[in-house]
Chain A
Amino acid sequence: MSGASVTAEPPPKAAPPEPSEQGRSRYRTGALFLAPAFFLLGIWLVYPTIYTIIRSFFGQSGYLGTWVGTENYRTLFTTSTLVTAIKNSAIWVAVVPAFVAAIGLIFAVLIERVRWSVAFKTVVFLPMAISAFATGVTWRIMYQQDPNVGAINALSRSVHGAFSPAGVLPSAAPSTTSLQQAHGGAMVLKTPLHPGGVALLGLTGIAPQDLPKGAQQAVKPAAKSGAIVGTVWRDFKPGGGKPGVVERGELGIPGVTVELKGSSGKVLQTTSTDLNGTFDFATVPAGTYNAGIGAATFAHPFGGYSWLGPKLITPSLLIAYIWIWAGFSMVVLAAGLSAMPRDVLEAARTDGATEWQVFRRVTVPLLAPVLSVVFITMIINVLKVFDIVIALAPDSVQSNANVIALAMWRTAFSGNNDFGGGSAIAVFLFLLVIPVLLLNIRRFRREI
């Protein structure tokens, strides 16, 4: 664009300066109209930007303080919490705008065909009205790891349970070293057995209320020739008792599947324990055997994903954030879709293109300006994320969930009062946003 003669799209051209009285008064009017805006923008946006850039080269406190050169920036890239913040923010920028745009687009396309689209749009857009802080609180409640408390893990547990159901005794452990825990959770009695042998499989770590119904006092069965007998029981009485010995007050565990393994390790027979915990492999040919309990009995119930743990905290935050902004993207894209010229689409359809081809080759390119609005808005917003992280992430993972805007606030305002460091982070944030600025300007100039 060349200097003074700028063309704007609808009518008014900026006329060359008029020497007339009317012209001068127009300039004065213009100045008057703009004065309040320039006042606010100058003091709150322009001055702070310049000040912060300069301030970032100085020390912790004071209006300017002592010159430290690029030390604040060096700290920014070497302190682990800050580096994590940068990494996390990069993840946010890479993931959120793309997902928000995609989900919004899918929703926008789907609801085009439906009558009650306004209701759907309202529901999906609703989170935009909620403060990010309240959203953080809301999702934190849902992400609790304990499947009894956290909605998402409760759902995952049901799904998991359908495929790999929990065992009857998930928390059990052997009471003596003669019962060994094999890989995968199965337990095998070390001492080999022969017909006429008695196997004692004592277990601890079982709360009395978790015993299967009807459990009775455990009994050590008498040896039977030609058979292998034994007991599976809760080897615990108040005070502990003697491990490995069936004592008064210790209950047998009914309904446990006991496996008899041959010397090759193959499971030859299985049987189930009685109410007093005893089991009986009635006819056993001569040989050496091992008794054990299969892994399925000890399968842990799904303990829940650690959504609020260090590894998953950022994905959890991303999900909550996308939940907020998908509505915005959907509404904008839906409006863009409805403004699209139908004849182009019809022409493509009559030319024999499939719906998918129409979508890919015609719809999406026509939506490009609107999509870019969504992308640009999301990138700017994502870099400013603050409240949702503070509210959603428990204290123990705050350092894992750190993002740039939060790191800046912490450095400058939360106890450390390191204004030099805080300014450096703010400047860094600004630098990240500048490419977006240039995109914005280019887009705008194309429209002028």
Chain B
Amino acid sequence: MAAVAESVRVPPPRESTAAKIGRTVAKSPLQILLVVIGLLWLVPTIGLFITSILPRSEITTTGWWRVFAHPSLATFSNYSTLFHQAGLTSALETTAIIAVGNTALVVVVGALAGYAFAWLEFPGRDWIFVGVIALLVVPLQMALIPMFRLYNTLGIGGTTLSVILFHAAFGLPFAIFLLRNFFIGIPKDILESARIDGANEFWIFLRLILPLGLPAIASLAIFQFLWTWNDLLVSLTFSVTTLNVWIFDQFRQFSQSIDIIAPASFFSLLVPLAVFFAFQRYFVEGLLAGSVK
């Protein structure tokens, strides 16, 4: 098989130290401004974290920033109470199953379809592709009522499978769009020579397209994982208790549960944050594919 030449980025030319210092000094006001903006941007998240480590009486009567002056107020008791709440573990598991499951489904089905639109020939292919793009804008609200009824009729209401299929279907238009645009960038000769060698399309798909398409597939997977991990509406409608639904259920009149909701909300950030930090690079690449040529 022909090797693929990786696109290599040329590093910028090295500057002399003096020039570097000169540039840095000239940019100081800008740097300061950006640091301030960055810190401000973090304030809400920091506020959420601090709220989660304060006892309830402090949260409702004083500002969370007091903790910087009185660090002794902080306590992790809210978290230990949180983890003893029944239902949290299973909500977490359900969320994980749904997020991973639908992502896998979207990737596989989307890649198959993306390849078909990119490199397989059949009549009306590009028109059908336009049709799929059109589906991008269908709001999922359109499908809530009919699928609610359909699921009940089929008896799969309230199951994680019902939510997985729903998310996968709605992730498909974007997936197909993204992957098709990426696959099209694969040099034609590679595919042609493989076909001449007698390879069938499935082999080409598995051994050539998927490996080459990994960056786009990774971006897609991360987006889809994050979006479905953070979803509330769909799981709420289909009565499936994911983490967000569990938190939503804690909103309670008779006893303010901010001491449960705050730690739970912060806790629910951790997995998406971990995924985000680990795979930042792919976000940008994914966003670019299909938007900037």
Contacts and interface: CB of A to CB of B under 8 A. Distances in A.
Given A14-B123, A55-B146, A45 B138 contact: yes
Nearest to B280: A122
Contact of A413 (B38, B109, B232, B237): B237
Contacts of A440: 133-134, 136-137
B5 interface: no
B73 interface: no
Contacts of A154: 63, 65
A85 to B, nearest CB: 12
B137 A41 contact: no
A34 B268 CA distance: 36
A310 B205 CA distance: 56
B214 to A, nearest CB: 19
B269 A134 contact: yes
Nearest to A130: B269
B34 A331 contact: no
Given A44-B170, A123-B41, A14 B145 contact: no
Given A44-B170, A113-B27, A137-B265, A30 B125 contact: yes
Interface string A77-104: 0000000000000000000000000000
A346 B134 CA distance: 39
Contacts of B159: none
* Main SS class of interface, B: helix
Interface string B147-187: 11100000000000000011011101100100000001100
Given A33-B120, A34-B113, A48-B142, A387 B244 contact: yes
A323 B126 contact: no
Contact of A40 (B109, B116, B130, B148): B109
A148 B63 contact: yes
Given A123-B38, A123-B42, A151-B43, A48 B147 contact: yes
15 contacts: A15-B121, A41-B173, A43-B169, A45-B138, A52-B146, A114-B34, A127-B41, A134-B268, A139-B44, A142-B43, A154-B63, A332-B287, A369-B292, A405-B233, A426-B139
Contacts of A162: none
B81 interface: no
Interface residues of A, number: 106
A331 B281 CA distance: 11
B51 interface: yes
* Main SS class of interface, A: helix
Contacts of A430: 137-139, 141-142
A335 B289 CA distance: 11
A244 B87 CA distance: 62
Contacts of B168: 40
A51 interface: yes
Given A10-B185, A118-B280, A332-B288, 5 more contacts: A15-B121, A29-B116, A141-B51, A148-B61, A148-B62
B112 A111 contact: no
A55 B121 contact: no
B257 to A, nearest CB: 11
Closest 4 pairs (CB-CB, A-B): A44-B169, A131-B230, A48-B143, A37-B113
Contacts of B137: 380, 430, 433-434, 436-437, 440
B127 to A, nearest CB: 7
A33 B108 CA distance: 10
B139 A383 contact: yes
A412 B146 CA distance: 11
Interface string A1-14: 00010101111101
Contacts of A132: 230, 232
B272 interface: yes
A161 to B, nearest CB: 15
A126 B262 contact: no
Most B C-beta atoms less than 10 A away, residue of A125, A430, A444? A444
Contacts of B185: 10
A323 B233 contact: no
A429 B45 contact: no
Contacts of A33: 112-113, 115-116, 120, 201, 205
B14 to A, nearest CB: 14
B293 interface: yes
B79 interface: no
B10 interface: no
A182 B228 CA distance: 60
